[in-house]
Structure 1
Amino acid sequence: MKQCLTIFLATLMLASNAQKEKAYNYIAQYKDIAIAEMQRSGVPASITLAQGILESSYGESDLCKNSNNHFGIKCKTEWNGDKVYHDDDTKQECFRSYPSAAESYKDHSNFLRTRTWYDFLFKLDPTDYVSWAKGLKKAGYATEKDYPQKLIKVINDYNLNQYTLIALNKLPNDNQTLANTAKEEIYEDTTMAPELVITISSKQLRENQLKRAQGLPEDSVIIINPNVTVAKPSVEKKTANYPEGIFTINHSKVIYAKEGTSLLSLAKQYDISLAKLLEFNDMEDEEILATDKLIFIEKKLTKGATDFHTVKPNETLHDICQTEGVRLDKLAEYNGIKKNMQPVIGEKIYLRTNAPIVPKTMAQTNAQGGSLSTN
């Protein structure tokens, strides 16, 4: 009996984790559209995302996948766009079909904005999602008695009100990224043949350092010279700017652990088995951290918060999976490379979808005669 209960509870936990992952993936994919729509129309981003999650079943309903209809909006008499037919309250009802998710979100905002019986909602505080949820039910958006409670729970479970605050410019949008146009002039590759040494003149190095300090792009030249040996420049250890204690990366809980920390002690501290801790962090059997590292205390997601990551100097695929909070096997799968391959500086590592072009790796570079490219 006890064993059956344990299996039942484990099954429930797995189902709950799978549901959370679906929700986080949905939010990561559509939050920016919801923010933009709030700024355009006034519909709170938290409400839009919560409705999208519920109405589309985390983006997995047939109506959503086949017709980009995230909100279950039916045709109505004024609709002149594409149509599809699905069984709902009655058989083969007419639903709106959209060319993209963005069009569905826009039509949802317009649907609420242009109907007089929703006017009172726009007089509410946009951060008051409880009143908005109850108001939608009062105005007849849904027939389910517990519809407001479902919306409120989704908003609370996934902290969706933060996206309303971002739209109001009351919180920074931490997921905004700027393209890195700077080119790196040096790449240290320990897998290269020992007689090949990457060299760069001290004059070039000084010029590039000045350009970088002034925020200017660099056009650097790399020379592979088998006859010249130079001392490697000393690398100053950078202190990562992470908070103390538990924080989140891509909706997964993580800590920044210092060099010399025992992984077994971390596992005990956070009530996780050592095997699970290693699994969460795509690590082999390691006892003591050799360097400061991000250590996840729950499973990372399968998709990132942004589309891609630009490879930095000395960054491994494992480093990227930790920095972005995405599973290592998924990064390898999306980009068509092996988990232990070293991507070349400046290459794009895709975090959500298959890469349009397989990124260059050091193994490929060395096979082509040691010629490095940072373009």
Structure 2
Amino acid sequence: MKMKPMRRLNIHSILLALCLLSGMTLGAQTRNRAYEEYIEKYREVAIEEMKRYHIPASITLAQGLLESGAGRSELARKSNNHFGIKCGSTWEGRTVRHNDDAPRECFRAYRHARESYRDHSKFLSTGARYAFLFRLKITDYKGWARGLKKAGYATDSRYAQRLIDIIELYDLDKYDRKDGLKWAKENPNPHQPYLANELVYVIARKGDTFKSLGKELDISHRKLRKYNELPKDYELKGGEIIYIEEKKKRADKDHIVYVVRSGDSMYSISQKFGIRLKNLYKMNRMNPESPAPKVGDILRLR
């Protein structure tokens, strides 16, 4: 599933950040209260995202500060969009029009800032262009900052250095060391996250358990079973799709119907497309007692 690239850091964000600094540059080593308040407000969210998606909390906070002007940009204040993610062709949520590279461009709007942080995590962790970043140590904020610039996250030539300056001025890397280093030692070979139907999932490996996955992904093993509609006595065999958030009632707009293939079941199809099993049955006027679909049958996905 392809997401539209984020907007580049525009002149409005830069000017707003400069205004917040009241004429003082980061190089002058003068902290700004607005930045400190933003960090205090969102640091726990950034750490939570780091545990689940393996992105340094320092990087997430620095990007949030830079892109939203410490939460004071119009996009952040009115639409809770802290990272400037544009709508893209697959977005089905709330939207807002905002002048950026062109007049009245479509941006995603969120109910809460936390949703913006989650969307940012999904964007980085599932984007092919950013895959190489996840081979870096979670404490290597400089490598992450330079890698984001290299991957084309922003066109600003000083983007990486701006992130590094913010991280070092506000000691944001302490949030990576506090939880990130412990996590990295406990999970030297983390599961790669993937995206389906705007939902994040991992592929279970042989030897995985719901408890071990829950510990790595910082989520209750009971929720993992619930989200994936699996009974209490089910044991992972390896190769299963495991969602870390609740599946949706229907597939995305790119998947309207599906032609059943050999080896498919209603459950495997529901997992493949991130649809709740009961909704897949309902859309196709079936129930768990109905005969299994045959190869060549066409099932509705939305």
**What is the TM-score with the length of structure 1 in the denominator?**
0.41
CA deviation profile, 1:329-355 (whole Å, cap 9, x unmatched)? xxxxxxxxxxxxxxxxxxxxxxxxxxx
1:59 aligns with 2:71: yes
1:79 to partner: Cα distance: 1.3
- Whichever residue aligns with residue 57 of structure 1, its letter is G
Residues 145 and 160 in structure 2, CA contact (< 8 A), matched pair in contact too: yes
Matched ranges for 1:93-242 at <5 A: 93-168=105-180, 170=182
1:107 to partner: Cα distance: 0.5
Query: In 1, Cα distance between the equivalents of 2:31 and 2:77?
Result: 17
1:69 aligns with 2:78: no
1:12 to partner: Cα distance: 5.0
CA deviation profile, 1:111-162 (whole Å, cap 9, x unmatched)? 1011111100001011111110111111111111110010000000100001
- Whichever residue aligns with residue 32 of structure 1, its letter is E
1:167 to partner: Cα distance: 2.5
Query: In 2, Cα distance between the equivalents of 1:13 and 1:113?
Result: 34
Residues 56 and 64 in structure 1, CA contact (< 8 A), matched pair in contact too: yes
**Helix, strand or coil at the partner of 1:85:** strand
1:13 to partner: Cα distance: 6.4
Q: Which has the higher helix share?
A: 2
Residues 55 and 72 in structure 1, CA contact (< 8 A), matched pair in contact too: yes
1:80 aligns with 2:88: no
1:82 to partner: Cα distance: 0.7
1:37 aligns with 2:49: yes
Query: In 1, Cα distance between the equivalents of 2:136 and 2:173?
Result: 15
Residues 35 and 166 in structure 1, CA contact (< 8 A), matched pair in contact too: no
Identity of aligned residues (%): 51
Query: In 2, Cα distance between the equivalents of 1:120 and 1:13?
Result: 35
1:47 to partner: Cα distance: 0.2
1:168 to partner: Cα distance: 2.1
**Helix, strand or coil at the partner of 2:32:** helix
Q: Which runs of 5+ in 2 are unaligned?
A: 1-21, 184-302
Residues 56 and 180 in structure 2, CA contact (< 8 A), matched pair in contact too: no
> Quick check: which has more Rg, 1 or 2?
1
Say if 1:88 and 1:164 are closer, same or farther in 2 by CA, change over 3 A: same
Query: In 2, Cα distance between the equivalents of 1:14 and 1:112?
Result: 28
1:267 equivalent in structure 2: none
Say if 1:159 and 1:18 are closer, same or farther in 2 by CA, change over 3 A: closer
Query: In 1, Cα distance between the equivalents of 2:47 and 2:65?
Result: 15
Say if 1:12 and 1:60 are closer, same or farther in 2 by CA, change over 3 A: closer
Larger RCO, structures 1/2 (Cα 8 Å, 6+ apart)? 2
Query: In 2, Cα distance between the equivalents of 1:109 and 1:13?
Result: 31
Residues 36 and 167 in structure 1, CA contact (< 8 A), matched pair in contact too: no
Say if 1:17 and 1:65 are closer, same or farther in 2 by CA, change over 3 A: farther
- Whichever residue aligns with residue 170 of structure 2, its letter is Y
Say if 1:85 and 1:13 are closer, same or farther in 2 by CA, change over 3 A: closer
Matched ranges for 1:251-290 at <5 A: none
Query: In 1, Cα distance between the equivalents of 2:69 and 2:23?
Result: 18
Alignment length (residue pairs): 161
- Whichever residue aligns with residue 126 of structure 1, its letter is I
Query: In 2, Cα distance between the equivalents of 1:39 and 1:109?
Result: 11
1:19 to partner: Cα distance: 6.1
